[in-house]
Structure 1
Amino acid sequence: MNLAFWKNNKDKQPKKKKSVAREWLDAGIFAIIAATLIRTFIFEAYTIPTPSMEKTLLVNDFLFVSKISYGPRIPMTPLAVPFVHHTMPFTKNTPAFSEAVQWKYRRLPGFTDIKRYDVVVFNFPEGDTVALDQPDPSYYRLVRLYGWSQVNNTYKIIHRPVDKTENYIKRCMAEAGDTISIVHGQVFVNGQAAPVPPGSQHNYVVEISEPLNPTRLDDLGISGPFQTINANTFEYNLTPAQAEALKQFPVVKNIHMAEDENINALFDMNDIFPHDTIHHRWTDENFGPLYIPKKGATVKLDDSNISLYDRVIRVYEGNTLERKDGKFIINGQPTDSYTFKMNYYWMMGDNRNNSLDSRYWGFVPEDHVVGKAWMIWMSYGEGGIRWSRLFRTIK
């Protein structure tokens, strides 16, 4: 690779021909630099690992994530192995980055801001899960993410730099400045019922007078049931369209959205953000109202809401916070209010009863946002390539 291409060849000497090895080396270096720039500033490939977004997105959907939509984020941990996220391939916990250099959060201008109902890829805000040899109390929360069959009690939470934590994908249900609530599974934003994504799923209790025809269920794309309540009552995970179709079956006596009858009953209120059952006895189906922090906005602090914003103040925005003599002390100064430095977002999976999302770990800060899910470029399942999903834009 000629790094002095601007210099004139005064003696008009013939250029020395590069060896084949040198040409391959130059081409390799150029490819690595170009691919790294594209991956950092334009788009990045991402694979759906869990069913939390079904059936909007399926396991083994391969996506392009647009970084220019919201503006590319300048790397905060710049010393890293190219094309590797946080761990070296074929190793268990060997870091693929160095924390010797850490840059402040900065983002280049993008085409748009994060909007309600966008499908967004972001760095997990609560810490990563890794396999260990000792039990950890986070076991039951991991079940929500990975499923019963894939989780044992040998996990713990570790902490990496913001841009090196695991990538998650969810739908933004509320943006900075919104107030969100959930009533019997229905999401409300600023007092208005939020639209239900057509591909979203929810657990439904289905009561029947005689067995359902499995062929007709297959035609509707319905699998299961995943739980039997009694001889004539079952739980299915359904999209809104599937639930409406089942209602038309003559053998279906009753169908309604499940709440306490389903797997959620296994998880008590301590698992639900903000993990404060004295002031907020919320569940994943009945939640809020909750204000989503907005940059420059100020909230009054008291015993009833400090658990909501404690992590924002201490962890995401880097302040000290303590309670002394009945007063809140932030950075050594007594105060009864706080002004936010960043915008925050509320992310939820479309597969509402099978998603570890903001209902469990709270807000997603703007510095954790990677980009906007753009297009499915490859997808495969048990039957091979899902041709109908290829090159489908994500909504």
Structure 2
Amino acid sequence: GEKGNPKDDPKSYAEGVKLPYLRLLQLKKPKKNDIVVFNYPQDSVHTAIDRKDPYVKRCVAVAGDVLEFRAGKLFINGKPEQILGDQQMQHKYIATTGSQLDIPALYRTYGFLPVQEVQTQNGFLYDFQGLTDKTAKEIRELPQIIELKEHIWEKDTPGVSYKVNAARDAYTKNIDTTQSIFPINKGWNQDWYGPLRIPKKGDVVTLNQETLPEYQWIISEYEHHHLENKNGKIFIDGKESTQYTIQQDYYMMIGDNRDAS
């Protein structure tokens, strides 16, 4: 992958320059629809290091909210996301054409390119990662377009994604893509996700083998307890536990270009 993306490059920063810095105190908690700059969260392929991996996303749900994607549309607390207008969000589309698109013209008009072009027996397939409803409508009217269809994952299929132009076999040897969607035991994907309650300080959650993948990082990494799962039993700081009290508020951040985020 390209260097500089923390997921691809474990050292996406220079160590030679060390300038003094001041980290501002948090003046207010993130609110829904705020743009937030934050450290890259720890995940299965990369460990966040303070100051070195800034990410910029939008806060779509706060502590206590229930988040869900249904057929690619975002719902918060059972209601369609309205404030931003989901129609302004960017979704993945697959275009079928009879002839090659004028890519430079597309770029001049919209400022973006399809992420993939595949020649077929009858024409071309194009993968667009970030079309709003408005741009999709305009592209659909181009003379070369036979079909432009929003890409929606099938329900109950684990999300699997590959790096564009990467050898698929080489990639899958490095990362188990069948477990790429949090929490790994649900079978959720980018378009059918949840319902997931965003943990709130004071929540008392049930701990068992089914729920542990949802809370294990909160307990061990973010709230710094010693967590063990052995012989079917869960131990926190050496004590067998069947529930846990969440100690701080959590937030869900998602990029506006969701299908490429």
Same fold (TM > 0.5): yes
Separation of aligned partners in 2, 1:280 and 1:294: 21
Aligned residues of 1:264 and 1:353 also touching (Cα < 8 A): no
The equivalent residue for 2:57 is: 170
Q: What is the deviation of 1:328?
A: 2.4
Q: 1:237 aligns with which of 115, 126, 129?
A: 129
The equivalent residue for 2:246 is: 340
Q: What is the deviation of 1:329?
A: 2.1
The equivalent residue for 2:34 is: 118
The equivalent residue for 1:190 is: 77
Aligned residues of 1:269 and 1:282 also touching (Cα < 8 A): no
What are the superposed Cα offsets for residues 109-144 of structure 1, whole Å, 9 maximum, x if unpaired?
Answer: 73x4311221101112207xxxxxxxxx94xxxxxx
- Please state which structure has a larger fraction of its residues in helix: 1
Aligned residues of 2:225 and 2:237 also touching (Cα < 8 A): yes
Q: What is the deviation of 1:208?
A: 2.7
The DSSP-based 3-state class of the residue aligned with 2:96 is strand
The DSSP-based 3-state class of the residue aligned with 1:188 is strand
Q: 1:269 to 1:282 in 2, by over 3 A?
A: farther
The DSSP-based 3-state class of the residue aligned with 2:202 is coil
The equivalent residue for 1:254 is: 147
Question: Tell me, which stretches of 5 or more residues in structure 1 are unaligned?
Answer: 1-48, 51-85, 98-105, 128-136, 139-156, 356-395
TM-score where L is the length of structure 2: 0.71
Q: What is the deviation of 1:293?
A: 0.6
* 1:84-233 map, 5 Å: 88-90=15-17, 110=27, 112-126=28-42, 138=45, 157=46, 160=49, 163-194=50-81, 195-196=85-86, 198=88, 200-212=89-101, 217=106, 218-224=108-114, 226-228=116-118, 230=120, 231-233=123-125
Aligned residues of 1:171 and 1:347 also touching (Cα < 8 A): yes
Which amino acid in structure 2 is aligned with residue 123 of structure 1?
Answer: N
Separation of aligned partners in 2, 1:334 and 1:263: 35
The equivalent residue for 2:8 is: none
Q: What is the deviation of 1:251?
A: 4.0
TM-score where L is the length of structure 1: 0.49
Separation of aligned partners in 2, 1:208 and 1:159: 42
The DSSP-based 3-state class of the residue aligned with 2:200 is coil
**Does structure 1 residue 300 correspond to structure 2 residue 213?**
no
User: RMSD over aligned Cα, in angstroms?
Assistant: 3.4
Aligned residues of 1:227 and 1:236 also touching (Cα < 8 A): no
Separation of aligned partners in 2, 1:213 and 1:125: 39
Aligned residues of 2:63 and 2:200 also touching (Cα < 8 A): yes
Q: Which moved more, 1:186-195 or 1:229-238?
A: 229-238
Q: Share of identical aligned residues, percent?
A: 29
Q: 1:96 to 1:337 in 2, by over 3 A?
A: farther
Aligned residues of 2:57 and 2:255 also touching (Cα < 8 A): yes
* 1:291-330 map, 5 Å: 291-324=197-230, 326-330=232-236
Question: Tell me, which stretches of 5 or more residues in structure 2 are unaligned?
Answer: 6-12, 163-167
Separation of aligned partners in 2, 1:236 and 1:221: 12
The DSSP-based 3-state class of the residue aligned with 1:313 is helix
Count the aligned residue pairs: 226
The equivalent residue for 1:369 is: none
